[in-house]
Amino acid sequence: MRKIVIALAATTTLLSGAAVEAKPKLTPEQQLAKMLEGREAGEPVSCISLQDTRDMTVLDKTAIVYRTGSVIWVNRPTNAEHLDSDDIMVTHPTGSQFCKLDIVNTVDRSGHFTTGFITLGDFVPYRKVDKPN
C-alpha cells in the first residue's frame, strides 16, 4: 500500500510539472511588448554609447534590445529576418558607439562559422511612464 501512495505522489508531481511547462511560448513581438510594458517611446537616435550599454537581448527575426540604466533601447535592423538568438553577435564598432548602419556579423554558437550579418537601424529609447496620482 505504501508503494502505491508513493507512486501516486510521484505521478502527481510529474504531471503538475508538465502542466507548468505547457504554457504557450511568447512570440518575439510579444516578448518585446512585455519588456516595454509601462514605457513610452522617445525620439530615435542614430548612435548609443558602448560604455553605457550593460545588457543585450536578441529577439529572433525582430530586434536587438539594449539596456542602459533605466532606458531600454530597441534596434530593428534593416535585415532583422537574419536575427537568431542562438547566434553569437560579433560587432565591429568604429568608435565608442553602436551606430545606425553598423554591421554586426552573426556566428553559429556551436560550429563557430559565419551565418550572416545584420545592419543596425535607428535606436529607439523607451523610458518608464510616470503614473498619475
pLDDT tens digit string along 83-120?
A: 999 999 998 887 889 999 999 999 999 999 999 999 99
d(CA 21, CA 16): 9
First to last CA, the chain: 61
d(CA 26, CA 41): 22
Give me the residues paired with residue 56 across strands. 66
For the chain, domain boundaries: 26-128
d(CA 75, CA 63): 6
pTM for the whole thing? 0.78
**Which band of pLDDT confidence, cut at 50, 70 and 90, is reported for residue 52?**
confident
